[in-house]
Structure 1
Amino acid sequence: MMKIAVIGTGYVGLSTGVCLAEIGHHVTCIDIDINKINLLQLGNSPIYEPGMEQLLTKNIENGKLLFSTTHKEGLQGVEVIILAVGTPQGENGAADLTILQQAAKDIADYLHNNPIIVIKSTVPVGTNDSIKEMLEDHCKKEILIVSNPEFLRQGSAIYDTMNPDRIIIGSYKKEASEKIQKMYSPLNAPVLITSVRSAEMIKYASNAFLANKISYINFIANLCEQVGANVDEVSMGIGKDKRIGNAFLQAGIGYGGSCFPKDVKALLHTSLQFGLNASLLEETIAINDSQQELLVVKALQRFGSLNEKKVALLGLAFKPETDDMREAPSIKIAKQLTKMGAEVAAYDPAAIDNAKKILGDIISYTQSIKDAIKNADAIFIVTEWKEIKNIELSSVLKEAKLPIIFDGRNCLNKTKIMECDSIEYYSIGRPAIIKK
């Protein structure tokens, strides 16, 4: 087993560190945020992620997992240093590498034992080369560097880390790739050894493809509404084709989160830098932007005006099983509704605190679905949390002023809707159900 340091304790860094400890390595996670490290040392996760705290507690107690704010202490005698810090979107759409570059500077004085540097952060092609050059200029010796992109889904990051579809290892030196392959060997996952630049590209290409798939099915869903087809049936028919597959073919109100929006834009920026026609990526972004407005458009078509209407917003996080509000469709929806004079009452089981940081007091926040839908003229389903998917429709009929539902995730049970005596149900790419 190896001695490993992970720089950064966000979704990627913390999931990576916890899971490497779980498979037997000795891991120290390093972060400059003292409050976050203090929290982690107590076994408390600063992020909402199913299964995280159980593994945190277990591996802290067995001595496999440590946390530190001190590089000198945390990097002592390590064989591998994993850089897993954020690379947020810059103003021009490109990835902002400031945090990563600083993280590399922070470790530069502690590379005496020649550890392998692994860049797990999502970075533009050529970044590993520039970090390698920067470290070599400082250390005056060759640095072994590996590109090892992550493919985690928020809400299932622990599962994805422990059960990867593949592990990508991009390196210039065979000894480096073999060492990292050995590090992951307890996972028994398929490993693909590539060049460094191919590994960097694989990450962006993967996320952009999935985002494109989402925008494509949403385009088809909108067309289905116009021609009288049902996107559920169309999606199923498409997905049965083994060349296509059914993943990411669920119509809805678009993608959000910390990865797809910024990664598509970063790949677009790189494409334009090299003078390539990037209209495919531009259209992926444009469709997603308009899709996030679709529930409001449908509500306007139904009511004519939303002024003084009460709208219940069920779900705020960009997806279930996370409290992440980055690029969440709920942000655009909430702002549009309030601008049109609507009163918005929102509920989310995990993301309310983060939503308040973004939306402030332009909407109200409730502690239950029942409180949100009380006296509502319309109900918007924005995030398909399990408790929202399984909402008791009889309570909607009882609590809401009008039993009108706009389902942005096509997640409610159609049979139960049909059993209601009085309801209006509008979804994405499917015929409306109106029972009066």
Structure 2
Amino acid sequence: MKLAVVGTGYVGLVSGTCFAELGNTVICVDKIDEKVEMLKRGEIPIYEPGLKELVVSNQEKGRLTFSTDLAAAVAASDIILIAVGTPAAEDGSANMSYVYAVAEEIGEALDSSYKVVVNKSTVPVGTAEKVEEIIKEKNENAQVDVCSVPEFLREGSAVKDTFNPDRIVIGTSSKKAEEMLVALHKPLTEEIVVTDVRSSEMIKYASNAFLATKISFINEIANICDAYGADVKAVARGMGLDNRIGPKFLNAGLGYGGSCFPKDTKAIIHLAQSAGYTPELLQAVEGVNERQSFRIIEHVKGIFGTELIGLKACILGLAFKPETDDIRDAPALKIIDQLLEMGMAVKAYDPIAVENTKKVLGDRVEYGANVEETLEGTDVMILVTEWDEFVKLDPEMIKNKLNRAIVVDGRNVYEPKAMREAGFIYHGIGR
């Protein structure tokens, strides 16, 4: 099939590249000239394992091209995927200006031939109808069906997730569009759910809100475990073996961050409130998550007291999760801000996300070139992101580099008994 993908962020670039790998002809469109030229050279503006190789390979095979010309891409394609950002507005709602601007351009570019327009962006319920309305305002003769096919990609494993989806959700009321979209996605999985457009749009929000709820739930349990001396890892294991619950997303720690869960939880709360409903559970989920990052601060105070001036903390991990350079809503930023406010100096290291962090924190923080250098001369190691290289650190090396053998483990990757037997003052979350 011939596809145009509008937007070359995580969703657009990964989706477009993977569809090209499946043998489709794909034009990825972005309005930023520098970004398009970079992609043409095979330079990837985001960190995503395996993506660069696929981009280069499919460009060489002529299946994947990059352009700033949306009108030409629309004319050359059967299916147009909208994959632009829907960031949170100040009131928590999704900012739809980018989606609607693209809809206007698509409407202006359409001729009399039939096209399927697909919202891949995470959008409020009713967006497909609004997009179709905008397109037909620009071109009343447009032969178009606007559908919803939400993405369920995880940063750091987006390529793998694209090729191995749990399910594909297609929202449409058009049999013709359904047949085209099923054919496009069938090489990926037989698990294709076809539903009405509004339900499809809600499935994305409901899925992310449920996972956010599971994370906040286990973090709440971890905080209670701290109060009573229980081990949340044992609790989570015992819970997760119940097949009604399952083990995934029961890792207690510092809460969720990134570009999806915080934004989408706020958006569904706003959607509910706009309809006159108070989503008390989801508001509580958000509240727990907002507070969870600061559990680290409570542990630091419990070790050193409230007088922290003159002490230096080593922060390992700046990205919101491993295998990405994304620091949006990353717990590390909140923790560092709080430590600095209390008078501590901070040294920080991340395998990928240092440059992005510098854009936010500047020289308020000292950055190490590697783990050993970052640990050197600090008073406490605080693990914030569970990169594999941090999980496998040698305890003796840590002890030799630190001024004091103190570890605060925000992701519960180390065994408390082993760390304490090795001579550390060790604090986990709920352990």
Bin of the TM-score, shorter chain as denominator length? over 0.9
Write out per-residue CA displacement over residues 370-421 of structure 1, whole angstroms, 9 at most, x where no aligned residue. Answer: 111111111110000011111111111111101100000001255752551x
- Hey, what does 1:297 align to over in structure 2? 298
Q: Distance in 1 between matches of 2:345 and 2:324?
A: 25
Alignment gaps of 5+ in structure 2: none
Q: Which amino acid aligns with 1:306?
A: L
1:361 to 343, 360, 363: 363
- Hey, what does 1:433 align to over in structure 2? none
State whether structure 2 residue 382 is matched by structure 1 residue 383: no
Q: Which amino acid aligns with 2:218?
A: I
Q: Distance in 2 between matches of 1:9 and 1:401?
A: 45
- Hey, what does 1:248 align to over in structure 2? 249
Give the alignment of 1:230-379 within 5 angstroms: 230-304=231-305, 305-379=307-381
Q: Which amino acid aligns with 2:91?
A: N
CA shift, 1:351, in A, is: 0.4
- Hey, what does 1:70 align to over in structure 2? 69
Write out per-residue CA displacement over residues 307-363 of structure 1, whole angstroms, 9 at most, x where no aligned residue. Answer: 111000000000000000000001100100111111000000000111111112211
Q: Distance in 2 between matches of 1:414 and 1:41?
A: 49
Write out per-residue CA displacement over residues 44-98 of structure 1, whole angstroms, 9 at most, x where no aligned residue. Answer: 1110000000111111111110000111332232100000000000000000001
Q: Distance in 1 between matches of 2:94 and 2:129?
A: 16
State whether structure 2 residue 110 is matched by structure 1 residue 111: yes
Give the alignment of 1:58-137 within 5 angstroms: 58-112=57-111, 113-137=113-137
Q: Distance in 2 between matches of 1:367 and 1:115?
A: 51
Are the equivalent residues in 2 in contact too, given 1:164–1:189 (CA < 8 A)? no
CA shift, 1:277, in A, is: 2.3
- Hey, what does 1:7 align to over in structure 2? 6
CA shift, 1:34, in A, is: 1.1
Write out per-residue CA displacement over residues 26-53 of structure 1, whole angstroms, 9 at most, x where no aligned residue. Answer: 0010001111111111111110000000
Are the equivalent residues in 1 in contact too, given 2:17–2:58 (CA < 8 A)? yes
Write out per-residue CA displacement over residues 93-124 of structure 1, whole angstroms, 9 at most, x where no aligned residue. Answer: 00000111111112222222221000000001
- Hey, what does 2:17 align to over in structure 1? 18
318-327 vs 355-364, which moves further: 355-364
Q: Distance in 2 between matches of 1:383 and 1:395?
A: 19
70-79 vs 183-192, which moves further: 70-79
- Hey, what does 1:179 align to over in structure 2? 180
Equivalent pairs, count: 428
Other structure's SS at 2:57 match: helix
Q: Distance in 1 between matches of 2:277 and 2:61?
A: 52
Q: Distance in 2 between matches of 1:290 and 1:107?
A: 43
Are the equivalent residues in 2 in contact too, given 1:404–1:423 (CA < 8 A)? yes
104-113 vs 162-171, which moves further: 104-113
- Hey, what does 1:31 align to over in structure 2? 30
With normalisation by structure 1, the TM-score equals 0.96
Other structure's SS at 1:75 match: helix
State whether structure 2 residue 151 is matched by structure 1 residue 150: yes
Q: Distance in 2 between matches of 1:272 and 1:78?
A: 39
Are the equivalent residues in 2 in contact too, given 1:217–1:250 (CA < 8 A)? yes
Q: Distance in 2 between matches of 1:174 and 1:309?
A: 65
Please provide the CA RMSD for this pair: 1.1
Percent identity of the aligned residues?
Answer: 45
Q: Which amino acid aligns with 2:352?
A: A
Other structure's SS at 2:75 match: coil
Q: Distance in 1 between matches of 2:6 and 2:83?
A: 6
- Hey, what does 1:434 align to over in structure 2? none
Q: Which amino acid aligns with 2:349?
A: Y
- Hey, what does 2:216 align to over in structure 1? 215
Q: Distance in 2 between matches of 1:212 and 1:319?
A: 18
Are the equivalent residues in 2 in contact too, given 1:390–1:412 (CA < 8 A)? no
Q: Which amino acid aligns with 1:85?
A: V
- Hey, what does 2:399 align to over in structure 1? 397
Q: Which amino acid aligns with 2:21?
A: E
Q: Distance in 1 between matches of 2:360 and 2:103?
A: 31
Q: Distance in 1 between matches of 2:418 and 2:371?
A: 18
Q: Distance in 2 between matches of 1:213 and 1:395?
A: 35
With normalisation by structure 2, the TM-score equals 0.97
Other structure's SS at 2:352 match: coil
Q: Distance in 2 between matches of 1:415 and 1:378?
A: 18
Are the equivalent residues in 2 in contact too, given 1:211–1:284 (CA < 8 A)? yes
Q: Which amino acid aligns with 1:253?
A: L
Are the equivalent residues in 2 in contact too, given 1:404–1:425 (CA < 8 A)? yes
Are the equivalent residues in 2 in contact too, given 1:314–1:383 (CA < 8 A)? yes
